[in-house]
Amino acid sequence: MSGDTHEPVKTICPYCGVGCGIQVQQGDGPGDVQFMPWGGAPVNQGRICIKGGAATEVVDHEDRLTDPLIRDDSGEFREATWEECYEFVVDELERIHESYGPDSMGFFGSSKTMNEENYLLQKLARRYGTNNVDNCTRMCHASTVWALRTSLGAGAMTNSMTDLREECDLFWIQGANPGEQHPIANSQYFRQAVLEGATVIQIDPHANKTTRSFQIDDTERHQHLQLNPGTDIPLLTIVLQTILEHHEANPEDGWIDEAFVEARTEGFEDLKETLADVDKEAAAEECGLPLEKIELAAEKYASADNAAIFTGMGMSQHACGVDNVQNEINLALITGNLGRPGTGVNPLRGQNNVQGTCDVGAMPNVLPGYQLVDDDEARTRVENVWGFEIPDEPGLTNVEISHQFGNAVRGLYVMGENPVMSEPDATSVIERIQDLEFMVVQDIFMTETAEYADVVLPATTWAERDGTVTNTDRRVQRMRGVDKVHENTKHDLEILSTVGMRLFDDGAKHFDFDDPEAVFEELRQVCPSYHGMSYDRLGEDGIQWPCYEPGDEGDPFLYEHEFDTESGKGHIEGISHTPPAETPDDEYPLILTTARLEEHYNTGTMSRRSPTLNRQTPENFVDVHPNDAERYGIEDGDEVVLTSRRGEITVEAQVTDDIKEGVVWTTPHFAAASANVLTNDVLDERAKIPEYKAAAADIEVG
Ligand code: SF4
């Protein structure tokens, strides 16, 4: 790996999508890996949040997998050699292919792993003959990617943290919590703009660190719209209609940017038609908010010079997730808040490489660079570089693969994912995963999913590997590793490369790479927006895609002149409300919603093993409004049983008016009581993202 073992190496924090640079230094002993700040890091200039500062704690953790494991005839794991494991994995992949066909395998990539690794995994799946390859973006922003890609052109943040800090006058933060989930972006970028006068409109059922960091107390300047979960469409419909009505009466105010709408969009008439029948009073009641408050927010957005929308999983994780984000796009397009600094529709990505994992094609419907698998021309372009045929039908998504365990899907290849905790209705996932004939897991710890595997392959951590990751504002950055902590572990790339070379007759031709840079060189040949990059050009600052040619500097914001759609226009669409699949009833009278904590990370595989992070919050809990607590006889700190149609968890109650009355709020991080035991696995029809954010629930003192 790169660098002198005692010189610090510059790399990227493995947690959220902000992409903060940090340094890692190898100490004298093989397991001694230390964190150091990186003062000149391009995104964070040396500043770091609690997760980044504690990131090295998992690298030499005592739970690390150190040797390959195979499940023996008694059902127990035993240590095995790499040779034995490779042979077993290849034999099983061949058997499943021969017995059931290539679409009976599923491949799960991960945003905890790098661009090169996800690129090679999806290539392995496609060489195997299936497009059944997906990654955890399916669980977080698949609907956002879908809406942005189809209506604007690229499934990514339209703007960047820098231009938003410098130019934005109003932050419209809907279903996102940067104060907690993207702390350095929030403090270094967004808060600076607010200190210089920018306004914040926060839309979330839960008051949180974002509310507190901007001191949003519904003063004249900032507003928190604490809506009912699953009512973002009625809320945005009121906003759009208010802007439309005002513009008809006062066109001189310019709330609608007529020139922009005329020249650069299509579909405005369709939107107007949909809005014509809206009863604003009834919609506000559905949101659980006074109408005037929503109208005031509309006025603030429409009259700001530069308004930027931040969209998070509160929007995307719904069965109407694509529609939710499309309505945000509608708002930005009719007001002309796209295509210039300080504006845009900006998904805040939750994981270190969730943007890149999609960019490099670890998805069932797109190849690297979001080229559709069912587009003959695009597929042929990639086939010409790869030298083999790619299946021409989109494959199954993560949750669809999981729904088919033991039926259409007989085997699963998992790299760095933990589906038995990350997927909704987790108890049924555990039941179904045991119906698989074969599962291989590559990971750094014995995850809850690896417990059900046939083969567990010990991988190296983020601090021990080289490669690239792509952050939330499209910045491709290099990660650099120190020496391996455990000799018998292997880098994900080496494992995939070896499996690929052994599995196929022509494997050496397609999977023999000396190092991550060689993989990146191939990736850029098939991914147009990365084509102008190289490891040398990325250097220490990285490059924000698109970077089509070697001379391109990359783009801090997109769509200055035209959108990347077929017509070159931004697509506006009238959206009708679809309520959550489950609404409260006599049996389950509350709405359950879920979110993450600052000090934990997704299924907690790493953060629960980090003493610094786990000390902050060692167990799950549920937020209950004081009026609901009184109704159910719950005192602050009581043990309560939270139930949904799918199961129950026992957690401590926090009685707080942070949460809206009638709503309970909990987290997915803890294996002993995960929110995903309760969540609903109903999917958005197009993006196939599950509805984590709204389920009917009940609560009682335990
Ligand atoms: Fe890491 Fe995100 Fe914190 Fe930066 S803000 S240190 S990337 S977790």
Residue 599 is predicted with a pLDDT of 87
43 within ligand 1 shell (Cβ under 6 A)? no
**pLDDT for position 2:** 45
Is any atom of ligand 1 closer than 6 Å to the C-beta of 469?
no
49 lines ligand 1 (CB under 6 A): yes
Residue 599 has φ and ψ, to the nearest 5°, of -90, 0
Rg of the chain (C-alpha set): 24
142-347: CATH homologous superfamily?
Answer: Dimethylsulfoxide Reductase, domain 2 (3.40.228.10)
Which residue from 49, 111, 473, 613 has its CB within 8 A of the most atoms of ligand 1, so it is best to mutate?
49
Give the Å distances, CA to CA, from 387 to 211, 510, 589, 616.
53, 8, 57, 51
Q: Tell how far the Cα of 316 is from the centroid of ligand 1, in angstroms.
A: 22
Instruction: Report the candidate in 487, 442, 491, 445 with the shortest Cα–Cα distance to residue 464.
Output: 491
In a mutational test of the pocket of ligand 1, which residue from 182, 191, 475, 607 has the highest number of ligand atoms less than 8 Å from its CB?
182
**Distances from the Cα of 570 to the Cα of 170, 313, 329, 481, 561, angstroms:** 22, 23, 9, 42, 11
Nearest to 359 by CA among 181, 523, 554, 500: 523
Q: Which fold has domain 69-138+352-544?
A: Rossmann fold (3.40.50)
Cα 634 versus chain centre, distance: 34
ipTM of the complex: 1.00
In sequence order, what are the residues at sequence separation of 6 or more whose Cβ sits closer than 8 angstroms to the Cβ of residue 125? 105, 107, 131, 132, 133, 395, 413
**Dist. CA 22 → ligand 1 center (Å):** 10
Structure confidence at residue 115 (pLDDT): 97
Torsion sign across C-alpha atoms 564, 570, 572, 577: positive
pLDDT of residue 277: 85
Long-range contacts of 266-269 (CB under 8 A, 24+ apart): 266/567, 266/569, 266/570, 266/571, 266/572, 267/571, 267/572, 267/573, 267/574, 268/334, 268/572
The beta strand positions in 14-129, using DSSP E, are 21-26, 33-37, 69-71, 77-79, 105-108
699 CB contacts (<8 Å, ≥6 apart)? 590, 622, 624, 628, 632, 634, 640, 641, 642, 643, 653, 664
Confidence (pLDDT) at 30: 64
Task: Give me the residue spans of the domains in the chain.
Answer: 9-58, 69-138+352-544, 142-347, 590-701
pLDDT of residue 354: 87
584 lines ligand 1 (CB under 6 A): no
| Helix (H), strand (E) at residue 421 | helix 419-422
User: Ligand 1 centre and the CA of 13: distance in Å?
Assistant: 6
pLDDT of residue 202: 96
Q: Is residue 12 in contact with ligand 1, taking CB distance under 6 Å?
A: no
pLDDT along the chain (702 residues), means of 10: 68 95 86 88 94 93 96 95 98 98 97 95 98 92 94 95 94 95 93 93 95 81 95 98 97 97 97 94 97 97 97 94 97 98 94 91 96 96 97 96 97 96 95 97 97 98 96 96 94 98 96 96 97 97 96 94 96 96 96 91 89 92 97 97 97 96 94 93 95 96 88
Name the fold adopted by 590-701: Barwin-like endoglucanases (2.40.40)
Helices assigned H by DSSP within 258-349 = 258-264, 268-276, 280-287, 291-303, 313-316, 321-334
| pLDDT of 220 | 76
Q: Give the DSSP letter string of 96-112.
A: HHHHH-GGGEEEE--TT
Pick the CATH number of 9-58 from 1.25.40, 2.20.25, 3.90.1580, 2.60.120: 2.20.25
Contact 597 CB / ligand 1 (< 6 Å): no
- Give the pLDDT score at 164: 94
Q: Give the ligand 1 atom nearest the CA of 471.
A: 7
pTM attached to this predicted model: 0.95
